[in-house]
């Protein structure tokens, strides 16, 4: 389980970060906003508190100017005014000139970085963004920089580094920040995320353990710590962290992944409150419905668990599969006979028990290595169906499942595909698949079609192996343009 945009990806791949044009999670509901009774006393107390907070805010106004900066304040202010007005080229010139004349002025350097940053945004230029990242770093490194400016410059630097996918750089920046401000939990929490984005769960775990040791009720740390425990398959242990973290309502906790994994953990320990969290995740805009919990979605696509071939429009493909099922089966069996080399065990931790192997021919719309050499006829048959072979958000694969296997209820990553299952070797009775509240059985030579973004679950309780051919196809309502441009999963 990687901490990027993808949640429980059954597959080993992940989507390119930052390229998701899809469903935006709704704004979180105001947490803990239980309205206080509007009586006079309460109002008075509130006013007092507001005044206090205002005072605090005033005191806390960041000090960005050091002594040298103050001595050239009018020039800095003039340049800043240009930046604020959006006259970015002029502002950059002004800040550049200041930096030339006062290389030791942190505020001038910071202004230059901000202007480059704004300009990068305006011109969509990664080069400029990289320049601003460098300049933020220079500003922070000038001796005599105020601690507020150092913090602001490095925070923005880390954020922009992450945006550019410079995860190692961002980690180093955040580590520096934490070293400067060891008591700031928010910075430590960001450092944890930087570790997670690098796939360094161990590093992240340590960070969150440190935060929780001093701030045991920190909701952000809790929910991330729970996420890490869940990834380590410490299911029961993860639950209170995920739950309490979500209950905290702290900024950064209202994320679909946390509802997803809390629900999943609860389902695995047999706790029905899973659906309370799915419902809440749905209400807060993370899931299309309680049953349909994929996180990489195109909005508005027809959504139903089971499909008929006619409904998909891919009737030629279904006919081809059902007419050629023996050819496809025999090729798969021949590969199995030669040893299980090409069948890889399912590794996404979806099984409660049992043995489940897959032999993948296409993934993310591309042939996998030389996999087709083992089953050339099957691949030649598939080659005529781009709705499947070009499906960048799916796979084409054989799936063999041994008796005594149970696959936990789970949900695929995206609503952009439908999943066809062609029965090849189906021992009866004992093999079944549930999708939402409907359970079906495979038949040899017959195709079942479901949308695996809906919760589904599989049992193999027969007395010999079950073999199926899985063909993912683009959701029929996706346009050609969407099929070409959606990021692969
Ligand atoms: C799934 O797609 O999750 C499973 O149904 C696959 C399988 O082999 O049954
Ligand atoms: Mn599945």
- Among 283, 317, 335, the domain-final residue is 283
**Residue of 49 and 392 predicted with greater confidence:** 392
Calculate mean pLDDT across residues 172-184. Answer: 97
Q: pLDDT band at residue 58, thresholds of 50, 70 and 90?
A: low
Q: Do residue 277 and residue 357 come from a single domain?
A: no
Q: Are residues 261 and 342 in the same domain?
A: no
Q: In this model, does residue 27 exceed pLDDT 50?
A: no
Place of tokens 């030669």: 338
Mean pLDDT of the 6-18 span: 33
Separation of alpha carbons 382 and 396, rounded Å: 9
For 401, the token pair is 């499942």
Ligand 1 atom index nearest CA of 10: 3
Provide the pLDDT for residue 136: 98
Considering the chain, what is the average pLDDT of its residues? 90
Whether the CA torsion 302, 304, 305, 308 is positive or negative: it is negative
Same domain, 62 and 181: yes
Q: Which ligand is closest in space to the CA of residue 459?
A: 1
Ligand 1 and 433: CB distance under 6 A: yes
Is residue 418 within 8 Å of residue 305, measured between CB atoms?
no
Q: Which ligand is nearest to the CA of 356?
A: 1
Kindly state if the Cβ of 452 falls inside 6 Å of ligand 1.
Answer: yes
- Nearest ligand to the CA atom of 358: 1
Separation of CA 283 and ligand 2 centre (Å)? 24
| Distance in Å, CA 10 to ligand 2 centroid | 7
More confident call, 487 vs 18: 487
Closest-CA residue, ligand 1 atom 9, reads 458
pLDDT > 50? residue 20: no
Q: Is the pLDDT of residue 117 over 70?
A: yes
Residues 272 and 313 placed together within one structural domain of the fold: no
Distance from chain centroid for Cα 208: 19
Helix 106-123 and helix 147-163: axis angle, to 10°?
20
Q: 165 alpha carbon to ligand 2 midpoint, in Å?
A: 30
Counting residues of the chain whose pLDDT is more than 70, the rounded percentage is 88
**CATH number assigned to the domain comprising residue 339:** 2.60.120.330
75 neighbors 91 (Cβ within 8 angstroms): no
Nearest CA to ligand 1 atom 2: 452
- Which residue's structure tokens are 């083992």? 374
Average pLDDT over residues 282-303: 97
Task: Give 291's pLDDT tier (boundaries 50, 70, 90).
Answer: very high
Long-range contacts of 208-217 (CB under 8 A, 24+ apart): 211/185, 214/185, 215/185, 217/248
Q: Pick from 249, 283, 317: which residue ends a domain? A: 283
Q: Stretch 159-166: mean pLDDT, rounded?
A: 96
The two tokens of residue 167 are 């995860």
pLDDT band at 53, cuts 50/70/90?
A: low
Question: 258 and 186 in one domain?
Answer: yes
Closest ligand relative to 294 C-alpha: 2
What pLDDT, on the 0 to 100 scale, is given for residue 60? 81
Q: Quick one: which of 70, 12, 52 has its CA closest to 368? A: 12
Asked if 188 and 117 sit in the same domain, the reply is yes
Residue with CA nearest ligand 1 atom 4: 458
Taking the centre of ligand 2 as the mean of its atom positions, its distance from the CA of residue 379, in whole angstroms, is 22
Give the mutation target among 8, 11, 407, 447 for probing the ligand 1 site: most ligand atoms within 8 A of CB. Answer: 407
- Pocket mutation for ligand 1, best pick of 11, 343, 419, 422 (most atoms within 8 Å of C-beta): 419
| Residue 32 within any structural domain of the chain | no
270 lies in the same domain as 318: no
Query: Which residue has a Cα nearest atom 5 of ligand 1?
Result: 458
pLDDT in tens, 122-142: 999 999 999 999 999 999 999
Mean pLDDT (whole number) for 11-40 = 29
Q: Is residue 19 predicted with pLDDT exceeding 60?
A: no
Task: Average the pLDDT over 159-168 and give the result.
Answer: 96
Clarify whether residues 269 and 312 are in a common domain: no
Residue 54 has pLDDT above 90, yes or no: no
Is the CB of 401 inside a 6 Å radius of any atom of ligand 1?
yes
**pTM (2 d.p.):** 0.84
- 252, 283, 314 - which closes a domain: 283
Q: Once rounded to an integer, what is the mean pLDDT over residues 70-93? A: 98
Tallying the residues shown for the chain, one arrives at 489
Instruction: Kindly report which listed range (56-65, 293-302, 473-482) carries the lowest average pLDDT score.
Output: 56-65
Of 431, 356, 442, the residue nearest 397 (C-alpha): 356
Residue 39 reports pLDDT greater than 50: no
CB–CB of 224/201 below 8 Å?
no
- The domain tally of the chain equals 2
- Judged against a pLDDT cut of 50, whether residue 14 lies above it is answered with no
> What's the first-to-final CA gap in the chain, in angstroms?
14
The answer to whether residues 10 and 348 touch, using CB atoms and an 8 Å cutoff, is yes
Burial class (CB in 10 A: 0-12, 13-18, 19+), 241: buried
Q: What is the mean pLDDT of residues 404-430?
A: 97
Residue 10 has a pLDDT of: 35
pLDDT given at position 337: 85
273 and 310 belong to one structural domain: no
- Taking the centre of ligand 2 as the mean of its atom positions, its distance from the CA of residue 278, in whole angstroms, is 18
Asked if 421 and 366 touch (Cβ cutoff 8 Å), the reply is no
Answer whether residue 23 shows pLDDT above 80.
no
Q: Is residue 296 part of a domain?
A: no
User: What's the confidence (pLDDT) of residue 339?
Assistant: 77
pLDDT at 448: 98
pLDDT value, residue 55: 62
**How many angstroms from the chain centroid is the CA of residue 415?**
15
Q: Is 449 helix (H, G, I), strand (E, B) or coil?
A: strand
The pLDDT, as a whole number, for residue 59 is 67
The more confidently predicted of residues 379 and 12 is 379
Q: Give domain status of residue 301, yes or no.
A: no
Whether residue 16 lies inside any domain: the answer is no
Q: Mean pLDDT, to the nearest integer, of 25-51?
A: 38
Domain assignment present for 215: yes
Do 453 and 419 form a contact (C-beta atoms < 8 A)?
no
- My answer on whether 262 and 331 are in the same domain is no
Residue 458 Cα, ligand 1 centroid: separation in angstroms? 7
Would the CB of 468 count as within 6 Å of ligand 1? Answer: yes
Residue nearest to atom 8 of ligand 1 (CA): 399
| Band (3; pLDDT cuts 50, 70, 90) | confident
User: Nearest to residue 311, comparing CAs of 450, 479, 454?
Assistant: 450
Tokens 């698949």 correspond to: 433
* Pocket test residue of 399, 434, 436 for ligand 1, highest count of atoms within 8 A of CB: 399
Query: Cα(396) to centroid of ligand 2, in Å?
Result: 13
Our answer on whether the CB atom of 399 is closer than 6 Å to any ligand 1 atom is yes
Is 212 contained in some domain?
A: yes
Tell me what the mean pLDDT of segment 426-438 comes to: 97
> pLDDT grade, residue 392 (50/70/90)?
very high
Atom of ligand 1 nearest to the CA of 399: 8
pLDDT band at 435 (very low <50, low <70, confident <90, very high): very high
Classify residue 290: in a domain, yes or no.
Answer: no
How far does Cα 278 stand from its chain's mean position?
Answer: 17
CATH of the domain at 107: 1.25.40.10
Instruction: Give the span between the Cα atoms of 66 and 76, in whole angstroms.
Output: 12
Instruction: State in Å: Cα 280 to ligand 2 middle.
Output: 23
Tell me, yes or no, whether 311 and 272 share the same domain: no
Give the domain extent around 358: 306-485
Token pair for residue 354?
Answer: 């049992």
Q: Give the C-alpha separation, 470 to 272, whole Å.
A: 31
- Give the Cβ contact number of residue 24 at 10 Å: 9
- Please give the radius of gyration of the chain, using alpha carbons only, rounded to the nearest integer: 27
Cβ atoms within 10 Å, residue 361: 23
Q: Establish if 297 belongs to a structural domain.
A: no
On whether both 135 and 271 belong to a single domain, the answer is yes
């Amino acid at each position: 389980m990687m901490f990027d945009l993808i949640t429980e990806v059954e597959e080993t791949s992940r989507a390119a970060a930052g390229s998701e044009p899809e469903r935006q999670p709704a704004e979180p509901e105001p947490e803990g906003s239980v309205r206080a009774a509007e009586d006079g006393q309460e109002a008075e107390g509130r006013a007092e508190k507001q005044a206090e907070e205002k005072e605090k805010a005033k005191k806390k106004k960041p000090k960005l100017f050091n002594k040298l900066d103050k001595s050239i304040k009018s020039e800095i202010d003039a340049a800043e005014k240009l930046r604020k007005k959006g006259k970015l080229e002029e502002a950059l010139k002004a800040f550049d000139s200041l930096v030339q004349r006062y290389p030791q002025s942190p505020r001038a350097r910071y202004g230059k970085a901000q202007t480059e940053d704004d300009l990068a945004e305006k011109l969509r230029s990664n080069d400029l963004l990289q320049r601003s990242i460098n300049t933020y770093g220079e500003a922070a490194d000038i001796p005599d920089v105020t601690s507020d400016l150092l913090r602001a410059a490095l925070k923005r630097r880390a954020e922009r580094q992450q945006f550019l996918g410079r995860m190692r750089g961002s980690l180093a920046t955040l580590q520096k920040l934490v070293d400067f401000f060891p008591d700031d939990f928010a910075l430590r929490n960001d450092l944890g995320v930087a570790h997670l984005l690098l796939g360094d769960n161990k590093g992240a775990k340590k960070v969150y353990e440190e935060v929780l040791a001093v701030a045991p009720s920190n909701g952000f740390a809790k929910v991330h710590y729970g996420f890490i425990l869940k990834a380590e398959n410490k299911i029961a242990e993860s639950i209170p962290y995920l739950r309490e973290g979500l209950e905290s309502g702290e900024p950064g906790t209202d994320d679909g992944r946390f509802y997803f994994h809390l629900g999943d953990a609860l389902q695995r320990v047999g706790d029905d409150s899973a659906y309370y969290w799915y419902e809440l995740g749905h209400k807060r805009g993370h899931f299309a419905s309680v049953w349909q919990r994929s996180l990489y979605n195109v909005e508005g696509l027809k959504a139903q668990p089971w499909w008929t071939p006619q409904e998909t429009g891919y009737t030629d493909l279904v006919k081809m599969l059902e007419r050629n099922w023996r050819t496809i089966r025999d090729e798969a069996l021949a590969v199995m006979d030669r040893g299980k080399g090409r069948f890889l065990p399912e590794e996404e931790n979806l099984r409660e028990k049992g043995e489940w192997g897959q032999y993948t021919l296409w993934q993310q719309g591309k042939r996998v290595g030389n996999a087709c050499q083992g089953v050339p006829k099957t691949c030649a048959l598939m080659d005529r169906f781009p709705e499947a072979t070009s499906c960048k958000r799916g796979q084409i694969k054989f799936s063999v499942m041994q008796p005594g296997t149970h696959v936990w209820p789970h949900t695929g990553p995206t609503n952009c595909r439908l999943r066809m299952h062609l029965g090849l070797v189906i021992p009866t009775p004992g093999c079944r698949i549930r999708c939402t509240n409907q359970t079906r059985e495979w038949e040899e030579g017959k195709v079942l079609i479901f949308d695996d973004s809906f919760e589904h679950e599989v049992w193999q309780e027969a007395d010999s192996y079950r073999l199926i051919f899985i063909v993912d196809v683009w959701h029929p309502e996706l346009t050609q343009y969407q099929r070409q441009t959606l990021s692969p999963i």
